[in-house]
Structure 1
Amino acid sequence: VRAMDPQIVVPFGGIVVFSGGAPDNVALMEATDLVKVSENNAGSAFFREPSRSAPHNLYGRTAELFSRGGTPVPPVPQFSYVGVPDSNSTVPTATTTTVKSKSKSKSKKPLPTTTTTAPVPFTGEAVSQFHVNFASGYDVTYVWDPALGWKRFSQTSTPFLSATSPPVQISVTNVIVNFIPYGGGGGDGNMIGTGTSWIFSNGNLIKGTWTKANDADSTHYTDAAGAPIRITPGRTWVELLPLDKTVDVVAAPVPPTTVAAPVTTAPKAKKKK
């Protein structure tokens, strides 16, 4: 457990599962209202995978972990999503098109209409890939794939794969990079306050601002105009990057434009008289 972990997990509620930590940090977690399950009280809910090296071989049995505190209720939404209005927002989340029927009718009843609602997609700077410059050995690259989302690769360009057979490429719908302050000497980060956020979704990047008032508050994301940034519904990963680190972005190639050749008409030959 890290000292900053309560800032991350408290807004979600439910059960927090961890193994070990400095006594002061464990005390911070114990002080929360979450249901805590650690290696000391997990029993058979934790197990070691013998094919992997310790300490990276500790796994949990999800059903048993949930049984410690019951299946948690859905948490408060942590993000604003495309097509899903917030309760107090006036920002449009979708465009609506209404098409009236063209069929003729002698009846006085109004003609039927067809209404189609399309969510306003996440749109910003088009990006093909980006590299998050954590310390060497922890940096990571994401590559955009329209079919899969953001595919994750290690610093050696090795794809992150699932442990299933056959393995599949691990990918996510959204990646949010929050720039946050860390204590000296590799100390814990602080997510309380406000800072810069780079949000990657739908093959695009929007640079905005993150804000979080306290441990229990969700992190809020706004654009330059102060409006909520709406991401694409799906799996979202948040990277907490130190303020002195950078993100390298590769812009998406501009698709070639095709210009139709002008239509020319050959002059008609004059008939000889």
Structure 2
Amino acid sequence: MTGERGVRRPGRVLTALLCALTAAGLYGCSGPGPSEPSPTPTTAPATPPPTRPATPTGVSPFTGLPARPAPVLAVKIDNVPAARPHTGLGAADLVYVEQVEGGVTRLLAVYSSRLPDLTGPVRSARESDIALLGDFGRPVLAYSGAQSALNPLLRAAPLDLVTESGAPQAFRRSPDRPAPHNLYLRPGAALAAAPGAHDARDIGFRFGPAPPGGTPVESSTVRYPAARYTFTWSAADRAWRVAMDGREARATDTGPLTPSTVVVQRVTVRPSRFHDRLGSVSPYSETVGSGTALVLRDGHAHEARWSRPTATSGTTFTTPAGAPLPFAPGQVWIVLAPTP
């Protein structure tokens, strides 16, 4: 019953009957009075996107292992040969590999479950780090510095920034390494300098038994223009041994690096609007969007797809059929590899 012009209004008995049917859920009744205009048709509101299921209490959303809630600390790590062996990488929950100027790479180590006494060597931040960390809430980002044009973006991002100039007590210089490969971070002091950091939260990863299928592999290699990573399955360790540029990667405090899961996430690597002091343009790895990936776990390689609609929506990894692809519990490496 719309009450539109040119349509005879029903009598009171019919109106009462229709409204009674409305109460029974059998008919619609808008009930406008004689002088009220017709209601304007509206479209149904869009269904809100489903929320990500909460990580089980007492389990790290980054490793799938038991852990207590704790703030998130991300540290930008140098990775040229002169910076190796690293310190503190074995304690990281996550390790991201990013391409930088000259075709070499740097690491972004993420800590929450455990903190080493020291980690490093620490180097400068890049624009890619801002989007990459967007889903962690408000993490601490510790780095050695950044080019002046990038600083306003870093300060505007939801990050608690810790640098040597702002928190000298959180850093130390090693007499055993030449600059700029001699700056190390004290993670505990870095978190104390940024008390507003958020605890670890769900960023889209899932952990559990291996999915069916997959291709047995002994090793897998990822190449950058001037760097090479090889991940070799170690049945004894139940993990992958990492080699960088043909040499075993080790941490000075914990020995060989042995992630349980390695994700080769194929991304677009494009020039950014920033460059280093020599004029080399900084690459930007696009981690918002979707694409293909290769998930290495339990001695098998699984083809996958990744999806991250926004910088705060988390990154999900699924099988080609769309089912969640769980990681093996333990340290995870995400290798942001250029799309072929």
TM-score (norm. length: structure 2): 0.56
Counting helix residues as a fraction of each chain, which structure ranks higher? 2
Separation in structure 1 between the aligned mates of residue 175 and residue 204 of structure 2, nearest angstrom: 36
Specify the alignment match of 1:161 in structure 2. 250
Secondary structure class of the residue paired with 2:189: helix
Does the alignment pair 1:143 with 2:267? no
Specify the alignment match of 2:276 in structure 1. none
Separation in structure 2 between the aligned mates of residue 57 and residue 75 of structure 1, nearest angstrom: 32
- Select 1:132's aligned residue among 222, 228, 234: 222
Instruction: Check whether the contact 1:79–1:220 (CA below 8 A) recurs between aligned residues.
Output: yes
Does the alignment pair 1:23 with 2:23? no
Within-5 A mapping of 1:208-223: 208-223=304-319
Question: Which aligned segments of 4 or more residues in structure 1 are displaced greater than 3 angstroms?
Answer: none
Question: How many residues end up aligned between the 2 structures?
Answer: 203
Secondary structure class of the residue paired with 1:139: strand
Secondary structure class of the residue paired with 1:51: coil
Unmatched 5+ residue regions in structure 1? 83-119, 245-273
CA RMSD of aligned residues (A): 1.8
Task: Write out per-residue CA displacement over residues 211-240 of structure 1, whole angstroms, 9 at most, x where no aligned residue.
Answer: 112222211111111111111111001011
Secondary structure class of the residue paired with 1:30: helix
One-letter code aligned to 2:228: D
Q: What displacement does 1:24 show?
A: 3.2
Q: What displacement does 1:77 show?
A: 4.2
Identity %: 24
One-letter code aligned to 1:163: T
Within-5 A mapping of 1:102-121: 120-121=209-210
One-letter code aligned to 1:178: Q
Does the alignment pair 1:57 with 2:182? yes
Task: Write out per-residue CA displacement over residues 62-88 of structure 1, whole angstroms, 9 at most, x where no aligned residue.
Answer: 111111223742222441111xxxxxx
Instruction: Check whether the contact 1:122–1:201 (CA below 8 A) recurs between aligned residues.
Output: no
Unmatched 5+ residue regions in structure 2? 1-124, 272-280
Secondary structure class of the residue paired with 1:81: coil
Instruction: Check whether the contact 1:174–1:237 (CA below 8 A) recurs between aligned residues.
Output: yes
Secondary structure class of the residue paired with 2:303: strand
Q: What displacement does 1:140 show?
A: 1.0
Specify the alignment match of 1:199 in structure 2. 295
TM-score (norm. length: structure 1): 0.69
Q: What displacement does 1:186 show?
A: 5.5
Specify the alignment match of 2:87 in structure 1. none
Specify the alignment match of 2:326 in structure 1. 230
Change (3 A) 1:217 1:231: same
